[in-house]
Amino acid sequence: MSRRVHSRSTQIDGLLLLNKPAGLTSNQALQRVKRLINARKAGHTGSLDPAATGMLPLCFGEATKVCAFLLDADKTYRVTAKLGIATDTGDADGTAVDTAEVPELSAERWAGILEGFLGESTQVPPMYSALKKDGKRLYELARKGETVHREPRPIRIDEICLLEIAGGRLVFRVHCSKGTYVRVLVEDIAKKAGTVAHTARLHRETVGAFQASDMLDLTGIEAAAASGSAAVLARLLPPDTALESMPAVQLDAETAARFSAGQEVAALAQESSGLVRVYGAGAKFTGVGELLGEGRLAPKRVFRTTEKNG
């Protein structure tokens, strides 16, 4: 693999939507791209397990400030389940702990079972997860053979559709809320059908408004960086593209300057409440604000992107 070596990192502001390959942790993938483009500051949002593939938003510079907002975004996955075998981790990396016959159900019957999971419900997080109990990660306890009580958490399934059913292979697409554990969903689907299962493959197709067509493969990023980082930087998305679900508020130059200085300002004709994208002169993205009612706008996150990347 070719890699450009620089003595000093540079200020880069924006997002890259990486199509994460299997075999890398989310942080390993982030650090590899960070080195390739010589970025000074970087973060990612919405971790994927090492075996999982698909959309991993990488945030650089000022764009790291949108990570927290992306954590709340809905996501879409293409899921391949192996029916008839359950594992201790719920995925293909685990050890088989149970087997069961796979019922011979029609595609229509499988589609009906999937549709039964639409809407709001609760889900018990798996032991093999990064959630903490008394300061320790659940997966650390699970590796010691320990099981602790986990409170059910609210989730929401907006869309779920059958793509393929063949023998012990079930493939479906699901659009779900944050906090949804697909591994647990697969186990619950199998239970509803009278069998057991684990997640054999997991591919994330979308995060929020970002689409699969916006993703870049790691090999493509590496090839582009080998001949200079400009080609990669040209694919950077502005930070505010991660916030398009928020309403936009336009401020004049003077008011935008006070907002950027951390001051509460007046937002004319804005009587509602909630988070908004804030723009200053020249439609320059200035930050995220919170409408407090009565035309008041308070800064929540101020962005100072460079002209080159912002």
Catalytic (active-site) positions: 49
Sign, CA torsion 141/144/148/153: positive
Q: What is the DSSP letter of 295?
A: T
Burial 123-147 (b: 16+ CB within 10 A, else e): bebbbbbeeeeeeeebeebbeeeee
What is the spatial distance between Cα 61 and Cα 15, in angstroms, rounded to a whole number? 9
- 241: tokens are 């593209």
Longest dimension (CA), the chain: 69
- CB neighbours of residue 161 within 10 Å: 11
What is the spatial distance between Cα 210 and Cα 46, in angstroms, rounded to a whole number? 13
Which residue in this structure is represented by tokens 């200053």? 280
Burial 247-275 (b: 16+ CB within 10 A, else e): eebebeeebbeebbeeeebebeebeeeeb
Sign, CA torsion 256/68/210/152: negative
